[in-house]
Structure 1
Amino acid sequence: MRVMVIIKASKDSEAGVMPSEQLLADMGNFNEELVKAGVMQAGEGLHPSAKGVRVRFCGSQRTVTDGPFAETKELIAGFWIWKVASMQEAIEWARRCPNPMEGESEIEIRPVFEAEDFGEALTPQLREQEERLRAQFGQGGTPQ
């Protein structure tokens, strides 16, 4: 199964405070462990929401709102995509993670939808399209 591991933003990350050299080294070592174990498929840190925008949809209307966004607890500072055998394995990896922020922080783990999760709604034509698109952007064929 694939999971998205979401590192929640903090007041410091939203203020643009960069991680310490020690935290960067610790995270680099942790990422190396994840890669060597075949778990990490992607991972990045994100700039503060002040550099982002939101696009709100209401029917055919689109509204763009520039950041920053008020609710820090709802914002994301970074993410990983992990391939694990179970949610329990993802939790075990997350428990080994260095604290991603100075002080208190939070990581959220959510399963990624796979083709089989959509059942009959994913017709053979839609499945073929999905596989073709994944191959084009380097994910290699059928979703894992």
Structure 2
Amino acid sequence: MAKYALIMRGTDESNAAMMADITALMAATHQFIEDMMKADVLIAAEGLDDPAQGAVVDFSGEAPVVTDGPYGETKELFGGYFLIDVATKQDAIGWAKRVPAVRGAKIEVRRVAGEDELPPGVETDNNI
């Protein structure tokens, strides 16, 4: 088994479409979560707050620079994620195809790397 993050990515347009029918979308999302729980693949599911409430810490200069949201140069923003544990990438993609989403939204599928995949010689503190 492997962990995968299904990362919800939206644009201003898809986010507006989502808000237009939020009640139906939330009902579909709750059913999707129940389906994942019944299949015993769901580890976590969280939505993220409005980007205007966030900040970015940029390390491109000598000192980190903090910028408050919203982020005008960004075309897509993460809206939340599902963390699942499935046998294959294809299984993760199968679940991603079932995420209740509006036209224009995207679901990014990313495997979560394990501690055993660190480069040789790198020590970790298991208390983190």
Q: The TM-score by the shorter chain falls in which range?
A: 0.7 to 0.9
Quote the Cα distance in structure 1 between the aligned partners of 2:56 and 2:99. Answer: 30
Quote the Cα distance in structure 1 between the aligned partners of 2:51 and 2:118. Answer: 32
* Structure 1 partner of 2:7: 6
Q: 2:32 is matched by which residue type in structure 1? A: F
Structure having the higher strand fraction is 2
Say whether the 8 Å CA contact 2:10–2:104 is kept in structure 1.
no
* Structure 1 partner of 2:38: 36
Q: CA offset at residue 122 of structure 1?
A: 3.2
Quote the Cα distance in structure 2 between the aligned partners of 1:60 and 1:14. Answer: 37
Aligned with residue 23 of structure 2, among 9, 16, 21 = 21
Aligned with residue 51 of structure 2, among 41, 49, 52 = 49
How many pairs are equivalent? 126
Structure having the higher helix fraction is 1
Quote the Cα distance in structure 2 between the aligned partners of 1:57 and 1:8. Answer: 23
RMSD: 2.3
Q: 1:68 is matched by which residue type in structure 2? A: P
Q: Which has the higher contact order (CA 8 A, sep 6+)?
A: 2
Q: 1:6 is matched by which residue type in structure 2? A: I
SS in 2 for 1:113: coil
* Structure 2 partner of 1:108: 108
TM-score between the two structures when normalised by the length of structure 2: 0.84
Q: CA offset at residue 18 of structure 1?
A: 6.7
Is 1:76 the equivalent of 2:78?
Answer: yes
* Structure 2 partner of 1:122: 122
Is 1:96 the equivalent of 2:82?
Answer: no
Quote the Cα distance in structure 1 between the aligned partners of 2:17 and 2:36. Answer: 29
1:48-67 residue pairs with structure 2 within 5 A?
48-58=50-60, 61-67=63-69
